[in-house]
Amino acid sequence: MSASAQILTRNPGPNWGYGFLSWADRWWPRWFLRLMLKAGTWVGFAFMPVERAHSRAYLAVVLGRPPRLIEMWRHFLAFADSLVLMLRAGRGTEVRCQPAEENAAAFEALVRSDRPALFGTFHFGNSDLLGYLLGARGRRITILRLRVGNSEDTRRLGERFGDRVSFLWINDPANLLFDLKTALEAGASLAMKCDRLEFSAKAEPFRFLGADRLFPFTIYYLAVMFDRPVVFCTAVPGKERDEIQVLASPVFTPDPAAGREMNLAAARLHFQGVLGQLEALVRAQPFLWFNFLPLNPEVAAVVP
């Protein structure tokens, strides 16, 4: 993708929005910031009709009924809250990680090991922070991200964790697989989101939110090709300010003695379990699903 085309790709809102939000978070009293954030969310909500329509469609599926206006607004406000935490972390605030007990031991053992691994996550809650927090705990990590023209949160976090975190920009699909191969052969650990289809070379159907839907499956092909373990982790707001709770999946490890197809069959079972965990989170906290895009497309029913 040319540089001019990349500049056209941008987050919603004014170019100065992230900088102003970070300044307000630093200098305004917390109660006043909260009041202004709620008011500003109504403004953004009014001027983003496409994202509003996708929010309505998604909430109708997960709630089982048409959402109320206030519920759609809460969806946007939850995203604003997650953005404020990212900006705060980029400014130097320590974000405490509270691991959930389920699968915590295997996840911690993998994070502390020297083995290159693949860390998957989703556009849910505070999961955007996980790659940086892995870097803060000593693991060198390469994060797959889409480069946009006004991503102040990514820039600040990259500056803070730059000694441990690097980026692999996915704007050019033609070079993406080559770049992934190069990074993996160099022994890098990768962090990638596995819910949007735009830049996925492999997609397969899995059961999610009452239908068989296409999801990216590239992470498992990479795991089998390069003998890398895969673990998914998702983060939600914790009980205290500047705290997140991290929920990990079981670790999938390819079996060198098994063939490619057997490993991929095991991977499909693993990912279906991961999506089961994600669906439980989505149904419990529906406003934390930040895909303001069409839901993953349904496909004809598949036989397991």
Give the whole-angstrom CA distance, residue 69 versus residue 244: 28
- Token pair in block for residue 300: 């004809």
Asked whether residue 44 is assigned to any structural domain, the reply reads no
pLDDT of 8 reads 42
Nearest Cα residue to 167 out of 151, 150, 190: 190
List the chain pLDDT tens, one digit each, 304 residues: 333 344 446 666 666 677 788 889 889 999 999 999 999 999 989 999 999 999 999 999 999 999 999 999 999 999 999 999 988 888 888 888 888 888 889 988 998 888 999 999 999 999 888 887 787 677 788 888 777 655 665 666 667 666 778 888 777 766 777 788 888 888 888 999 999 887 666 899 999 999 999 999 999 999 999 999 999 999 999 888 889 999 999 999 999 999 999 999 999 999 999 999 999 999 999 999 998 999 999 987 544 4
Asked whether residue 53 is assigned to any structural domain, the reply reads no
Quickly tell me which residue has 């889409």 as its tokens.
146
Give the whole-angstrom CA distance, residue 228 versus residue 91: 33
Asked whether residue 293 is assigned to any structural domain, the reply reads no
Asked whether residue 142 is assigned to any structural domain, the reply reads yes
Quickly tell me which residue has 């673990």 as its tokens.
231
Domain count, the chain: 1
Contact between 36 and 44 under an 8 Å Cβ cutoff? The reply is no
Asked whether residue 178 is assigned to any structural domain, the reply reads yes
Asked whether residue 152 is assigned to any structural domain, the reply reads yes
Asked whether residue 37 is assigned to any structural domain, the reply reads no
pLDDT of 40 reads 92
pLDDT of 6 reads 43
Asked whether residue 1 is assigned to any structural domain, the reply reads no
Stated pTM of the model: 0.88
Contact between 241 and 129 under an 8 Å Cβ cutoff? The reply is no
Give the whole-angstrom CA distance, residue 94 versus residue 242: 7
Q: Tell me the residue range of the domain where 171 lies.
A: 95-288
pLDDT of 143 reads 85
Give the whole-angstrom CA distance, residue 210 versus residue 112: 37
pLDDT of 68 reads 97
pLDDT of 99 reads 84
